[in-house]
Amino acid sequence: MRTLFLLLAMLASVHFGMAQDAPVMNTNAATANYLVGDLEKLDKLELTKIYISKVNRLMTIVPYIPFAKLEPKNPTDIKIPNNNANEGFMRKLESSLKDHNQQTDASLSALNPYADKKNIIESILFLQQVINKIELIGMGMQQSTF
């Protein structure tokens, strides 16, 4: 029942997000859901920070989509054998994601302010929808559910 409620709440925020003015916020800034009206009030630098947080969130969770557990702490979390090799692979993946996100932060911080504000807003909203759908998978929902 809780899962159904979360699904309906997320779908409603995506569907009605274009017309509302009040943000629907989660506790994690990278997964916060923004609405067009809220984003239009922000300047490009603030939008760039939000965009970067969305890109980083996406890059952090994408590798774990097949495991339906988006932020595993160890191999057991994703139901693979807990051994030194798998722990090493997970550490390498975490390290490479951290390096990638740092490089992306630096590059997008310099480049994104040159983009059209409308395009930045549309990109944030797009990434937000993608992240929301991936997080539903991470909660154990099947893709056919949404």
DSSP code per residue over 36-58 = HHHHHTS-HHHHHHHHHHHHHHH
Tokens describing residue 107: 């590059």
What is the arithmetic mean of pLDDT over 64-77?
A: 84
Q: Which is higher by pLDDT, 9 or 123?
A: 123
Tokens describing residue 4: 């159904």
Residues 83 and 77 sit within 8 Å (Cβ to Cβ): no
Q: What is the mean pLDDT of the chain?
A: 79
pTM of this prediction exceeds 0.75: no
Q: Is 141 a residue whose pLDDT tops 70?
A: no
Rounded Cα distance between 129 and 127, Å, is: 5
DSSP state of 80: S
Continuous H helices in 79-146: 84-111, 117-138
Q: Which is higher by pLDDT, 94 or 8?
A: 94
**Cβ neighbours for 78, distance < 8 A, ≥ 6 positions apart:** 64, 67, 69, 72
Residue 53, pLDDT score? 94
What is the arithmetic mean of pLDDT over 115-125?
A: 97
CA angle 100, 67, 93 (to 5 degrees): 25
